Homo-oligomer: A and B are copies of this chain.
Amino acid sequence: MKPYAVGVDVGGTTVKIGIFRTSGDLLLKWEIVTNKKDGGRNILPDIADSIKSMLSNKGIGLEDIQGIGIGIPGAILNRSIVNRAVNLGWDVVPVKDQLEQLFDGKINVLVGNDANVAALGEMWQGGGKGYKDIVMVTLGTGVGGGIIINEQILDGTFGAAGEIGHMPVNPQETRVCGCGKKGHLEQYASATGIANTAKAVVASTKENTELKGMDSITAKDVFDAAKRGDKVALEIVDYTAEILGRGLAMVAAVVDPQAFVIGGGVSKAGPILTDAIQKYYREYAFHASEDTKFVLATLGNDAGIYGAVRMVL
């Protein structure tokens, strides 16, 4: 094993890059802007230039790099090719080949889906450390997921394994999910979903609630009010937790992981949410899987670069 490796996490706004010791320590990290002009054709050259100049700055030669792992917000085939990444303006892009060419064929590159790569990072050095089979759930603007089995990312046939935000949890739903179908988990458990639930509840409830006076209610408003004992807010939290706990019980009946790692902005609500999720999980889960561990993600926005590096080790 060579002494260093590089992890890259490409987002729609910035690209995060980290240089790691292959033992797992993050040496340094930085960000560059994601240049989406011209169908995003400059993104990979920008990344290569930035890595080369940083390595040269630090006196690290390409021959000391074990590999580059890169996470992309899109479907990935064979750890190599991106099959559409809408946020980057990409259609089909052979990322592995192109990035390897940008390093004159001297460095091995592996490509993963960003949510899956973040799950791998959390398993390796984050909240899931010590486990080898985890399901990561990222509760943010949407609901992302990643499945790690035996320390490996589960990609799925169409790159859609771990898309647990798109499990159909409510066949009665009439509103449409971002993906075009109806009643998916993301419609209830994302920050947007919780805000939508709150709007609907506040519009129809006769109870007094501090959420009533607000111009626009966010998920954070709901959790803050719930922590102050607001009854309506507590009901919204309970409603959300029931759907999430039930969804994760479904996930456990399929892959039966050691632990669920919960991350994303919504998870910052803390135990008021996560304890409730776990309560409903135990209520719905098959008895053998009732004691699955629930842990919080710890790497935050760095999970992607950690997981990206882990792919090439």
Contact (Cβ within 8 A) A163 B253: yes
Q: What is the bound-complex CA distance between A180 and B284, given in angstroms?
A: 10
Q: Are A289 and B158 in contact (CB under 8 A)?
A: yes
Would you call A54 an interface residue if the criterion is a C-beta within 8 Å of the partner chain's C-beta atoms?
no
- Find A159's partner among B133, B180, B257, B288 (CB 8 Å cutoff): B288
CB pair B256 A286 closer than 8 Å: no
Interface assignment of A79: CB less than 8 Å from any CB of chain B:
no
Known contacts A179-B286, A181-B286; decide if A255 and B156 are in contact (CB<8 Å): yes
Q: Contacts A157-B133, A246-B171; is A180 near B254 (CB within 8 Å)? A: no
Of chain B, the residue at the smallest CB distance from A131 is: B157
Which residue of B is nearest A157, CB measured?
A: B258
Question: Does A168 lie at the interface of the complex (its beta carbon under 8 Å from any beta carbon of B)?
Answer: yes
Q: Determine how close the nearest CB of chain B comes to the CB of A70; give it in whole angstroms.
A: 20
Please indicate the chain B residues that have their CB under 8 angstroms from the CB of A75 in the complex: 288
B256 touches A159 (CB 8 A): yes
Q: Which among A155, A156, A181, A253 has the greatest number of chain B C-beta atoms within 10 A?
A: A253
What residues of chain B lie closer than 8 Å to A246, measured between beta carbons? 168, 171
> With an 8 A cutoff between CB atoms, is A251 at the interface?
yes
The chain B residue sitting closest to A257, CB to CB, is B157
User: CB-defined interface of A162-196 with B at 8 Å, one 1/0 digit per residue?
Assistant: 11101111010000000111011000000000000
Q: Are A250 and B168 in contact (CB under 8 A)?
A: yes
Q: For chain A, which range describes its interface: under 10, 10 to 19, 20 to 34, or 35 or more residues?
A: 35 or more
The answer to whether residues A166 and B286 also contact, given A157-B292, A292-B157 and a CB cut-off of 8 A, is yes
The interface residues of chain B lying within 8 Å CB-to-CB of A161 are: 254-256
| Chain B residues whose CB sits within 8 angstroms of the CB of A249 once the complex forms | 167-168
Q: Is A26 an interface residue (CB 8 A)?
A: no
Contact A254 B167 (CB under 8 A): yes
Q: Which residues of B contact A166 (CB under 8 A)?
A: 253, 286
Does residue A8 face the partner (Cβ distance < 8 Å to B)?
no
A236 to B3, CA, bound (A): 63
A255 and B147 within 8 A (CB): yes
Compute how far the CA of A162 lies from the CA of B159 in the bound complex, rounded to whole angstroms.
20
Question: Would you call B179 and A287 a contact (CB within 8 A)?
Answer: yes
Residues of B within 8 A of A287 (CB): 179-181
Asked if A160 is at the interface of the complex by the 8 Å CB criterion, the answer is: yes
Known interface pairs A154-B149, A242-B171, A246-B171; A160-B284 also in contact (CB < 8 Å): no
A110 at the interface (CB under 8 A from B): no
Minimal Cβ-Cβ distance residue in B for A161 = B256
Q: A160-B288, A161-B254, A181-B287 are in contact. List 4 more A-B contacts (CB 8 A).
A: A147-B255, A158-B288, A168-B285, A254-B254
8 contacts between A and B (CB under 8 A): A155-B256, A160-B252, A163-B286, A167-B253, A179-B286, A183-B284, A250-B254, A251-B254
Q: Which chain A residues have a beta carbon within 8 Å of chain B's beta carbons?
A: 75, 133, 147, 149, 154-164, 166-169, 171, 179-181, 183-184, 242, 246, 249-258, 283-289, 291-292
